[in-house]
């Protein structure tokens, strides 16, 4: 399976990237083809809502977004990776998702397999509620087939990630069907 990992953390060696590294290790061992995009450090401008793309064309923005959208469309599975900031995904990842508008029908019609991996500093139960709901709506609206979700709480720095989350990420990658 061709898997595209969309990393939305500005912290290259942060918790969400540490956790997804375990997923990638497991998926590679199983024989999946993995491509990673550091969305957080890509040149991405926000959707202007100008409709120049006509919902199925090329975005007017001249940045990395159009190339990333094309890579998305050539993949079988998307892995969204983000830290949790103020109860939601990072602005960097959200900016990319907003740009899905330019390829909305193509994305919806593809019925992607999707995985979500997020890390939050806080260990409180409420920290993931808003993100969890947003991911449910996003999955439904884009007609994606969710095959995994890891929402790691209490993971403010890499050594604080509970071993059970690291194991779950590895096993998620290892147990994907080819």
Provide the CATH number for the domain around residue 163: 3.40.50.360
The beta strands (E) that lie in 1-108 are given as: 2-7, 33-38, 77-83
Helix (H, G, I), strand (E, B) or coil at 74: coil
Please, are residues 80 and 116 in contact by the beta-carbon 8 Å criterion? yes
**Pairing state of beta strands 77-83 and 113-119?**
parallel
pLDDT value at position 14? Answer: 95
Query: Which pTM was predicted?
Result: 0.96
Mean pLDDT over residues 16-27, rounded? Answer: 98
Q: Rounded distance, CA 99 to CA 24, Å?
A: 25
Q: Is the pLDDT of residue 54 over 90?
A: no
Q: Which 8-state DSSP code applies to residue 14? A: S
79-92: pLDDT as tens digits: 999 999 999 999 99
Check whether 56 has a pLDDT greater than 90: no
Percent of the chain residues topping a pLDDT of 90: 94
Mean pLDDT calculated for residue range 120-147: 96
Work out the percent of the chain whose per-residue pLDDT is above 70: 99
For the cut 90, the answer to whether the pLDDT of residue 119 exceeds it is: yes
Residue ranges making up the domain that contains 104? 2-174
Average pLDDT estimate for 48-77: 93
Q: Average pLDDT, whole number, for the chain?
A: 96
SS (H, E, C) 138-160: HHHHCCCEEEEEEEECCCCCHHH
Helix (H, G, I), strand (E, B) or coil at 133: helix
Mean pLDDT of 111-128: 95
> How many domains does the chain fold into?
1
Identify whether the C-beta of residue 96 lies closer than 8 Å to the C-beta of residue 48: no
127: closest CA among 157, 172, 83, 162? 83
């Amino acid at each position: 399976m061709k898997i595209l990992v969309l990393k939305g953390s500005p912290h290259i060696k942060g918790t969400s990237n540490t956790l997804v590294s375990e997923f990638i290790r497991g998926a590679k061992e199983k024989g999946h083809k993995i491509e990673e995009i550091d969305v957080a450090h890509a040149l991405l401008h926000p959707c202007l809502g100008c409709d120049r793309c006509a919902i199925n064309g090329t975005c007017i923005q001249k940045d990395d977004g159009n190339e990333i959208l094309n890579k998305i469309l050539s993949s079988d599975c998307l892995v969204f990776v983000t830290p949790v900031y103020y109860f939601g995904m990072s602005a960097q990842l959200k900016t990319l998702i907003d740009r899905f508008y330019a390829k909305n029908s193509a994305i919806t019609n593809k019925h992607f397999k999707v995985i979500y991996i997020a890390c939050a500093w806080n260990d409180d139960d409420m920290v993931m509620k808003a993100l969890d709901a947003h991911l449910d709506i996003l999955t439904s609206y884009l007609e994606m087939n969710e095959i995994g979700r890891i929402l790691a709480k209490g993971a403010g720095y890499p050594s604080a990630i509970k071993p059970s989350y690291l194991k779950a990420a590895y096993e998620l990658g290892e147990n994907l069907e080819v």
